[in-house]
Chain A
């Protein structure tokens, strides 16, 4: 019963174990690896298929307490790392919880938020099997409640609690930028706060810390690459010229370089330019063929991109100067088809992409170490994957609900949820971890 072993860690041991988890996690934990663990070692701090820590968020007294409990519960559910027990099924807690009652409910961990008179929120995490508080912390809370800043702070609380348990910070406090109706929009990872971010444009990419967006505008005139500061709303043109299409930008992890596709009478090729301005430098030489959709490796030294240089679209990897080109996708397929939209995972291990399969597109991942591939979707047409900062969740567009909308899939369990509703949404990108706001 691995669940019984959950939360058997004292806070003192936790950081040590967390770093070990990260190292093991790099080898893609699978069921077999989990079974190979020596007996007696807790599995609770890492994800194991089918074995999720059960969490319950206690009801919160005070103004907007219900919203606090609801949002925290939903964040834990959306993390796909916990089995979340409904707040309403919790026994009444006055003082220390009756751990035996929670144990009967199958609960491993109790999240107990308390609104403090100062306006801050105190969150205690109880280990049911240890019958003790595992961790507790007071978090600042902006007022008034229910504003975007308040929601963001609360997502930050969820992410911190997730880190106490798993050793890895959660992704609730992130946002997704996407394309709808010829402009760029931003939505919180829990699908709240759908907000227009630019007057026009498509294909957004985040600047480090989520402070702004780089995007393209296909206006038929100068088709620029633009940058917007989300704090001030100011816009700046990065690349622009008459009769040229600038499209599909990617921002380097250090935020200093933008790589984009430049379409002209000589074809569509990748160029790199300093984000603060300067001469663009050519990366690919397609001689009439197309290279587009660049994505940076986490160290910023390499790019993956799609190209039809072989006659059909495939994903390639090269150094940032265009040398050392390798064909990434065909090796695992051996046939001619259509693969596009690569996105390099933040942990550097995987590239997600779309692959035509039976006349439509599915999202796949390819492991850069052994070239093993995996389908992460199987329903509808699915395009343009983008990784969350946890290198586990992927946002993409799908037609599975009838219209093209954004969906999020957990690449480890295959569990998915719909992120956008309404008119067509596509070309999305998951933010990095946001700078504290």
Chain B
């Protein structure tokens, strides 16, 4: 029940901010043609109310957070391709975004740390990408919306030979390949 109500809330607020957002193109030409300077608001003369401006700002923040959630990197244990709990939580959050944005397609790219055989790491990276894809498709996301790839150990996120560097390199990276400009905040 709580989930449903939260979802309703999210949808409601989305509609609200989307409404606010659509005003923008209408407002913009007005500001350009207004010859009268308004010393009280030199930065951005507009007839948007402070409340609407706050909402737009909130929406932008929310959209950025939505994008960040969809693109959030997930991490793996050494020589492993099973999903950790934090990775599953991240994928669950992506499912919400993907369900609300049916036009969006993503690519999942698996990466490895520099340990282990370089050529086997290409296969391991592929499996790390596939395990994330399978998690998403098992939960209703259409397989045609998810491409997979592997870069083995060839494109490390961070340089170095420390445990910390390795941990940050064993990962799946997410990329929006279709519909990124139409992403709606969740």
Contacts and interface: CB of A to CB of B under 8 A. Distances in A.
A384 interface: yes
A383 interface: yes
Given A245-B150, A265-B130, A290-B124, A338 B79 contact: yes
Nearest to B114: A404
Nearest to A263: B126
A335 to B, nearest CB: 16
Interface stretch (B11-19, B69-77, B115-123): B115-123
Contact of A338 (B116, B133, B148, B151): B116
B124 A340 contact: no
A247 B126 CA distance: 12
Given A290-B123, A290-B124, A427 B118 contact: yes
A292 B125 CA distance: 13
A427 B154 CA distance: 12
A350 to B, nearest CB: 19
Contact of A292 (B120, B147, B148, B151): B120
A243 interface: yes
B120 A340 contact: yes
B120 A313 contact: yes
B171 interface: no
Interface residues of A, number: 30
A264 B79 CA distance: 19
Contacts of A202: 118, 154
A338 B117 CA distance: 9
Nearest to A339: B117
Contacts of B149: 220, 243, 245
Give the most central of A220, A243, A263, A306: most B CB within 10 Å: A263
Given A245-B126, A268-B126, A338-B79, A290 B150 contact: no
B136 interface: no
B130 to A, nearest CB: 6
Contacts of A292: 119-120, 122-123
Contacts of A268: 122-123, 126-127
A223 to B, nearest CB: 8
B122 A427 contact: no
A400 to B, nearest CB: 14
A348 B79 CA distance: 32
Interface of A: 182, 202-203, 218, 220, 243, 245, 247-248, 261, 263-265, 267-268, 288, 290, 292-293, 306, 308, 313, 338, 340-341, 354, 383-384, 426-427
Interface of B: 79, 109, 116-120, 122-124, 126-127, 130, 133, 147-152, 154
28 contacts: A202-B118, A202-B154, A203-B118, A218-B150, A243-B147, A243-B148, A247-B122, A247-B152, A261-B119, A263-B122, A264-B126, A265-B130, A265-B133, A265-B148, A267-B127, A268-B123, A268-B126, A290-B120, A290-B124, A290-B127, A292-B119, A293-B117, A293-B119, A293-B120, A338-B79, A340-B119, A341-B119, A383-B118
